[in-house]
Structures are given as structure tokens and as C-alpha cells.
A and B are shown apart, each in its own frame.
Chain A
Amino acid sequence: MPHIQTILRPILAVAFGLACGLVLASFAGESPVHVLAILGRSAFGTPYDLGMSLYFATPLVLTGLAVALPYHSGLFNVGGEGQMIVGVFAAAAVGLLWPEPGALVAKLLTLAAAFTAGALWGAIPGWMRVRRGAHEVITTIMMNFIAIGMTSWLTLGTLRNTETMNPETRQVGAAYLWPRLELFGDAPLSVALLLGLVAAACVYLLVWKTPFGGELRAVGLNERAADIAGISVGRTRILAMALGGGLAGLAAVGEIFGNSGKFKIGFSAEYGFTGIAVALLARGRPLGVVLAAILFGALHKGAGDLDFETEFITRDLAVVMQSLVIIAVAVDGFWRTGKGRS
């Protein structure tokens, strides 16, 4: 069991970040109580609101896991955005190229294509790091740009939807669309939410309950000792990056196949990058990733109504609050290492 502090500290960091955000709001001339009430009501007030919060949280669970898993092997995967885009684009391409398989086959194909493409996109920087020492933070960022450019080009060139003026692909076959979860009114929440939860459970089992997970954590904590002990550091890391990329590849499946069924250029609200914040807040723990993703999803949803209901602040307050939470988490880590030295 993790120590009580490892649970308490992120919660305090969140509280601190939110409090600072509210103080800022009061400087801007809004009553903090009023702002907090709007945020709470808008994020959780009705089943629909809750559903929307979860809808925004869904991709963040997966992009958060995509950072958390390689993190345990000592790598910092900043490429969740690109891996997600490539993954869902590959799935959409499969859906366009083979429009009418059976419903189950279609779903499995979607998952397989998204995971594989994302995994490949993650494995390449992993391989470059292991073989040539190219730092993964740099290469994964670069791979993000390549992913965006390449999918845009293919979308506009090969798979373009000629019936609209929008930069999007044609619609995939009906068999590929995911059923909605009808629990939350009209919220476009699909079965993909469950996918995120299953993935979080899988990551937990993989990292903490399997022999591979033991090797993975040893590599992350002391690469040299792991190497001398006979663990294949390179293979472990490439695999970790591939699995992380695969998880990111699944992140937008709900967004695309639970909704329009079309790959739209620029569909992502920077889920890949927010996933980094989610993983940091969660300290790489899968359950923490789920909770942090819900928090960030709720902030995203809740802030939407700030535009209408307040005079002086806008939805950007949500971004400010997210940033403050991350700063609080970082300061906490800094403070702790500082304390450890004395």
C-alpha cells in the first residue's frame, strides 16, 4: 500500500491550485464562491454535465497512461499527442478502406489499428533513444509535428470528405461507430470510457504484478543496476514506449468513433499534452491517472459556463487552474527533495 502521504500530497496540491485560481478570480472582480459554484454546478450539476465531464476525461485517462507507463521505465513520453492522432487516423483509415465488416470485427479492427499505429509512433523514439541516445523528449515532440502534418496531408489528399467544406475524412461505416452510454442524458459519452478504465487496470497489473513490470521499474529507478543484473534495458524501454504509444493511440477512439465517425484535422483539444499534466499529478499511478483525468475533465467542462455566467473571467481560468495544480505538484516534489538534503 502506498504511504498515506503519497495520497494526501497530490490532493493538497490540487486544493492549493484551485484556491490560487479562485484568488486570481477574485482579483479579477468575481466572487470566488460564485466562481466555485459555477464550476461545480457546470461540471457535476446534472447527469448531462457529469457525462460531459467524463467525456472530456476519457481521452485524458489514456494519454495520461501513455505518459505514466514509459515514465516507470525512466522515459518521458511527450509524444502522446502525435501517437493519439496517428492511432485514431489509422483506425479511421481502416474504417474507410473496409466499410462494412461485422460490428464486432469492426470494433476490434479499430482498436487494433489505433493501438498498433500509436505503438509504432511511440516505439520509434524509444528505439532512437536506445540505439543512438537521441533524447526522447526531443524526438517525441518532433514526432508530434510529423504526425499532425502527415495525417493532415492524407486527410486532405486521399481520404477527403468531398461533401463538405470541412477538413475532415469521409465517414466510416456504421459498423465502426461505438454505442453511446445512455446513462448521462445527451452527453456524447461512449463505451470508450470503459476502455480507459480497463486500460488503467491493465497498466496497473502490467507494471506492478508481472515479471516484466518488475524489470520495467528496475530499469526506471536504476538503469545501470538493471543492466548488470541481466535485464535488457533497451528492449524494456522500447516496449514501454510502444505500449505507451499504443495507449495514446486509443485515446481518441471515443472522440472519433463515438461521435461523428470522421477524422477531423485539429480535433484534439491538446489531450496529449494535458495527459502529461495528468500523469504528473498522478505520479504515474494508474488509479491516480483516472482521478486526475476526471478532475481535469471536470475543470474543462465546468469552465465552459464561466463565459456566460461571469462578467470578468473566461473559460481560460480552467487552464490557469490546471497549470497552478501542476506547479503545486512540482513545488511539492522540489520541496521534498530539498527537505531530504538537510
Chain B
Amino acid sequence: MDPIVELRGIRKAFGQQKAVDGIDLRVEAGSIHGIVGENGAGKSTAMNILFGLVQPDSGQILIRGRECQLASPSVAMRHGIGMVHQHFMLSPVHSVLDNIILGSEPETPGPVWWPRFLRPLSRRAARAKVTRIAAALGIELDPMTMVADLPVGLEQWTEILKLLYRDASIIILDEPTAVLTPNETEMLFRSLRHLRDEGKTILLITHKLKELKALTDRVSVFRQGQVVAVRDTAAVSLDELAALMIGQSIAVRAARRASGPKGRVLVEIKDLEVSREAHGGGFEAARLKGVSLHVAAGEVLGIAGVEGNGQSELIEVLRAPSRHPLARGTVNFCGADAGALDARAMRERGLAIVPEDRLVQGLVLEQSLVENFVLGREREASFCRGPWANVAARRAATRAALTEYDIRPSGNLDLSAAGLSGGNQQKLIVARECARKPHCLIAAQPTRGVDIGAVDFIHERLLSLRDAGLGVVLISSDLDEVRKLSDRILVIYEGRIVAEVDPDQASEETLGQLMGGSFPSSRLGSP
């Protein structure tokens, strides 16, 4: 079959950095094509070029055999190419329908002299079309619902419907399952197969090899800006894929490592309630409803849940208890009531945080690696000389950390944090937080969007911290991660801890059901 999309020798450099270095990619019509690779391998750049967001320095793009200049996303859209980004681009205060038609609003007929932008919106035809598309895919979605009221899975469907409404025939999905429960994922996959059978072409960027195996027909492996392998999915094993991605064979992931003896209780939360007002906005902010939990030294407490079920609020309360005057309940930290402590005081008492969003919450992207490594620790005695910042000590400490955590490139300490790939950014944050010598570490989605090498590294770090006697709170929507690292797992759903499970006994299905809000009766109840 002829390829519907073909990239030939695509090159793109950002400054000195070659993002893609001669990509050749063929995607056949009516197939689901997987794109895998570590962070910084050039997947996103290649897809952004195909979507018209980035212009290549050289090379050809052929759509349906004809060479095209994709000068912008709207040009790409005219060629039938659409993309769903990892972070949704929806307006929460508009209905699903309005979000879908935004930018290609149906025109109402009217006199020629009457300006187009002043014509009233005609929603009826659009609504019928959207309903028809959704029904064909078996999605239950009322187009008139406000996006703010949708669960994440349906927000994603809104994005996909947006493309289908515009008759896209080539759909690029960037990490579509990162925010979904296992059950939602399964449903997404069913529908994607359905779309493929209707003749759509789907490009799927993912880090999760299992999903690749489950869904795709063919897979292209990216490494260092090039496509290093193309395989029929049916004929390739997970280990082989992993090996192709990182360029060497890796050991099968180690089984869970049991913890040693537990120490004193470090964090104890009782009957915590946080109302929406206390959180100060955010449309999907779920409240916390009577959450109680405790973490002891020397254990990893996993908190599993789909994002937006109260995890962010839980982190907020823990990291700065005094900022939530409307919260009820008690927070104890290291044996003392912490209800009146602010973020700085909690830090000083030994709390470290790997925040869930490294770009917004973890790093100051414009600043250098050194400044990011000392972020929040500027006043530590070892980093100061009298009233002045001790630049030499800061640089030495940063250099040591870059080596220890294998953060690359390690040559230039003055590089801005934005210049690191996602995995290296995350390792820099982990390095910084560990260097604070904390008693307790909150790790929120510590390996999201991070390449396999960095995942293993960070996991190993977290376990060795635990073995060194830290209490670790692991908040993650990645079931494999939670099961591999945790000594106990709490499942959070709509602001409640709905179950405590033993990681050795809980199956993925059970956890998935709990995370999705359906409770097998035997497990129902609070811990």
C-alpha cells in the first residue's frame, strides 16, 4: 500500500542542537503507527513539523504522494492532518460543541455585504454532525455540556472530535493515555481501532511500550534525531523495542524490592477536608473529603489515582498547611502539629517535593542549571560566603550533582534549564530535592513523560532514599510505577481515599477499577 504520509530526510536544528537529523518516515494509510523513543529523540519535533507548527530546515514532506509545504497548522489541517496535544487546548467555559467548532464556525447564510464575523452562529448542523460522529464511535457525550464539567477522558474525546469534525484523515496523538484510567484507555483504544477500520490514519506518540504493542500496526523507533528502526508490531517484543529505544539491551525491570523496618511516623493526616474555595480556583479542582493517611520513615506510600481526584490539593496542603484556612482536619509532620506552618517552614523541617509539573512547578526554565540546583536553598550556609552568594561552591555542588545523576549535557553549567530534555530536567529536580537531605519526600508523577533510562534511575533513587530511612509519598497515575515502588497503596477517587491495597496482591485490573470509581465490594471502605 502507498504511504499516506512520508517524511524524507527531514532536518531541524534549534541553535546548535539538532532536534531531528535526517528523519525518514513512512506511514501507510489506514494504519495505526506508533512513534516511540526516549525524551529528546526527536519525536515531538517530527510530529510538530508534520502538524505545521515547526518548519524543517531541509527535507521533503509528502502527503498522499504529493510534496507539501506545511507552513502552519491550518495548512496541515487542509491536508487532513490534525493533532491532539498532551495538554488539551480547550476553553473550560464553553460547551463541547463550541470548542469543536471554534475556528471553523458554520456560517449562517446572509446578504453578501454583511461581514462574516458579524453573522450569527449556526449550531444546528454542527451539532448534528458532532452527534453523528460521536454516536458512530459509541461515545456518550452531550455536545452541549460545558467542558469544565467533563471528566478528563471526555475532554480528550472533545479534542479528537474537533479533528474528526474538520474531516481530518491523519490524526496525531501525543501521549493520549497519560491522563486516563486503564478502563478509559481501553475504550480509547477500541475507538481508535474503529477509526482505523474506517480508513483513518493514526500516529501515536507514547512512552508506554505495552500500549504500543496493544494498539499499533507498525512502529517507528526514534533515537537521537533519527528513525533507527521500523517494525511490524506483531513481530517485535517489548524487550526488543526497549533495546532499540535506548540503543542497548536493558535488563528486565527488577521485581519490587521489599522495605526494611519502618521507623517513626513522619506524616499523619487526619480527617482532612479541603473545599474548592480554599484551593483558589481551577475548574477541575476536586475537594478532599475526610482524607486520613500516615507515612512512616523507611516506607513508600503510593497514592494511586487518575489525575484531578484531589492529588494536587493533597500536595498543596502538605507542602504549605497554613495556606488553607478553610481546610479541616489535622496535619502532623515529624511528630508536631504542622497546621500553622507555611511552605518555607515545612521545607526547613525536612520536606522535599518533586512537583507534578516540572516545567511550571519544578524549574525556572530561563535560569541556569546552577540557579535551578540551588533554587530554594539560596540561603544555605554552604552556598553563601558572608552576605554574598558563594558562586564557586554552588557551581561545584551542581557539577557534582550532574555527574552523580548522569544529567546531560553536563559540560555547561550556564545552560538554561529549558535546554535539557524532559528526563534530564526531572533528574535535576530529583537531584536538588535529595540534596536538601529531607526526612520526607513527596514525589508527584516523578517519571511522567520521561525516557526509560531516566525512569529506572529515578525509581532506583526513590528506593534507595527509602532504604536510607526517608518516608516517601509517591503520587502517580502510572500503575506500574505505583505497584513497583510502593510498600502500601492508597487509591484516591473524587477526593476520598477509597481503598488501601497491598501491592503484592492487588491486580492491575482491581486497581484500575478502584481508580475509575467502581469499587469491588470486598475492597470497599476506608483504611
Contact = CB atoms under 8 A, between A and B. Distances in A.
Do A and B form a real pair?
yes
Interface of A: 209-215, 217-218, 221-222, 224-232, 342
A214 to B, nearest CB: 4
Contact of A225 (B344, B362, B379): B362
Nearest to A213: B389
Contacts of A213: 389
Contacts of B319: 228
Contact of A218 (B320, B346, B360, B371): B371
A231 B367 CA distance: 16
Interface residues of B, number: 31
B367 A230 contact: no
B379 A222 contact: no
**Interface of A, helix, strand, loop or mixed by DSSP:** helix
A201 to B, nearest CB: 14
Contacts of B389: 209-211, 213-214
B374 A214 contact: yes
A221 B363 CA distance: 10
A228 B358 CA distance: 11
B40 interface: no
A221 B368 CA distance: 12
A103 B311 CA distance: 63
Nearest to A219: B364
Contact of B365 (A222, A227, A231): A222
B361 A209 contact: no
Nearest to A234: B342
Nearest to B348: A230
B364 A215 contact: no
A210 B347 CA distance: 21
Given A217-B367, A230-B348, A342-B55, A225 B378 contact: no
Given A209-B388, A225-B363, A230-B347, 19 more contacts: A210-B387, A211-B389, A214-B371, A214-B378, A217-B367, A218-B375, A221-B364, A222-B365, A225-B360, A225-B364, A228-B343, A229-B375, A229-B376, A230-B343, A230-B376, A231-B344, A232-B342, A232-B344, A342-B55
Nearest to A341: B53
B364 A228 contact: no
Nearest to B345: A230
Q: For A217, A222, A224, A229, which residue has the most chain B Cβ atoms within 10 angstroms?
A: A229
7 contacts: A210-B389, A211-B389, A217-B367, A221-B364, A226-B364, A230-B343, A231-B375
Interface string B348-383: 100001010000111111110001001111110001
A212 B379 CA distance: 8
Contact of A215 (B320, B365, B378, B388): B378
Interface in B423-457: none
A235 to B, nearest CB: 9
Contacts of A224: 360-361
A224 B363 CA distance: 9
Contacts of B148: none
